């Protein structure tokens, strides 16, 4: 299939991080793993001498409003959790402009992988002093932000099958296990894709739109994808049957799906996807909207602490 030209990267130069003295620590306390991760993050911050206020995620409260009320009391927001927790804090970061310190205590930690944040909490905490402030893009699906990837079809069904118990037991391996479970009922669906010169109707197993580099526990969205290149990367798995989909799996795991003639790939700043029936759309591992869906990007929208150099 025809491959779209990729826009040239326009990454912002990382800036030296201003002094950080006090942080707002956000964490998910609704699961045992979340509570443990939050406690470990608190201990790591104390050992490094930081002051912090803890803000647990609460489904019945407006997280953005709660962060807004503290924006002049803290220097940055630290998030202890996985990609779903980071997705929940994205609107607050966009509104307040507070920089983000990622403390990877989730199952997949794909944004942390993209930013090369160390997996050990003490090392991640030290980025607030030793790291650089990198400015990254944020994707949007029907106005809802996402850092890593949006999925329609197979990927969204995997999200629905990925329960918290499976993630707790298997960690990143929970994603391929959930994918194998989902394949038993995988079916192609009809979609119309518009953007970057496309206006096509396709039969596909999955449409993925990536803003970052990784999803699903370390799978590249596209081999050359970057989270600060000002563009979205789309791929559509237009294989004819399940056996060909399985044969494609190694290339997907390496981000090399563009080498297959049965995968439509392209990069753009806006895509529109319509489907014959309403399909769920997962954003960073959470079902947050449905088709029809418009994907857009806000370049250089959030500041994050990342390793120097």
pLDDT digits (tens, 9 = 90+) for 185-234: 778 999 999 997 899 999 999 999 999 999 888 888 888 889 999 999 99
Query: Number of helices and strands (H, E) in the chain?
Result: 9, 19
Would you give the DSSP letter of residue 283? E
pLDDT of residue 209: 97
Nearest-angstrom CA–CA distance, 179 and 185: 11
Active site residue 286: yes
Query: Out of 40, 132, 274, 286, which one is annotated catalytic?
Result: 286
Higher pLDDT, 4 or 305: 305
Domains of the chain are 18-130 (3.40.50.10330), 144-300 (2.60.200.40)
* pTM of the predicted protein model: 0.86
- At residue 11 the predicted structure's pLDDT band, cuts being 50, 70 and 90, is very low
Identify the three-state secondary structure at position 265: strand
Q: Can the peptide bond before residue 225 be classed as cis, meaning omega within 30 degrees of 0?
A: no
Q: What is the mean pLDDT of residues 126-138?
A: 96
- Is residue 106 pLDDT above 50, yes or no? yes
pLDDT digits (tens, 9 = 90+) for 81-104: 999 999 999 999 999 999 999 999
Nearest-angstrom CA–CA distance, 27 and 49: 19
CA distances from 31 to 38, 170, 198, 260 (A): 11, 15, 43, 40
Tokens of 62: 């407006």
In the chain, the percentage of residues whose pLDDT exceeds 70 is 81
Residue with tokens 């929208």: 301
The mean predicted confidence, pLDDT, of the chain is 86
- Is residue 256 pLDDT above 80, yes or no? no
pLDDT digits (tens, 9 = 90+) for 144-179: 999 999 999 987 777 666 655 555 565 556 666 666
């Amino acid at each position: 299939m025809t491959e779209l030209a990729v826009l040239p990267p326009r990454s912002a130069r990382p800036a030296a991080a201003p002094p950080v003295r006090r942080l707002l620590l956000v964490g998910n306390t609704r699961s045992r793993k979340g509570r443990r991760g939050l406690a470990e993050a608190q201990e790591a911050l104390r050992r490094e001498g930081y002051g912090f206020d803890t803000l647990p995620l609460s489904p019945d409260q407006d997280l953005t409003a709660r962060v807004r009320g503290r924006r002049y009391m803290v220097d940055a927001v630290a998030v202890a959790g996985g990609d779903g927790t980071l997705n929940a804090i994205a609107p607050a970061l966009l509104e307040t402009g507070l920089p983000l310190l990622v403390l990877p205590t989730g199952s997949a930690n794909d944004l942390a992988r993209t930013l090369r944040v160390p997996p050990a909490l003490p090392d991640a905490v030290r980025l607030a002093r030793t790291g650089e402030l990198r400015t990254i893009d944020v994707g949007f699906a029907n106005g809802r932000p996402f850092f890593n990837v949006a999925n329609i079809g197979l990927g969204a069904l995997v999200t629905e099958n990925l329960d918290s118990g499976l993630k707790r037991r298997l960690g990143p391996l929970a994603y391929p296990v959930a994918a194998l479970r989902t394949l038993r009922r995988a079916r192609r669906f009809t979609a119309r894709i518009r953007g970057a010169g496309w206006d096509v109707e396709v039969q596909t197993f999955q449409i993925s739109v990536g803003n970052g580099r990784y999803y699903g526990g370390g799978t590249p969205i596209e081999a050359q994808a970057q989270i600060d290149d000002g563009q979205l990367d789309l791929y559509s798995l237009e294989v004819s049957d399940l056996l060909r989909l399985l044969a494609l799996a190694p290339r997907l795991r390496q981000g090399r799906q563009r080498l297959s003639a049965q995968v439509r790939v392209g990069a753009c700043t806006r895509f529109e996807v319509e489907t014959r029936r309403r399909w769920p759309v997962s954003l960073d591992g959470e079902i947050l909207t449905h088709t029809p869906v418009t994907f857009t990007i806000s370049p250089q929208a959030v500041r994050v602490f990342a390793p120097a150099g």
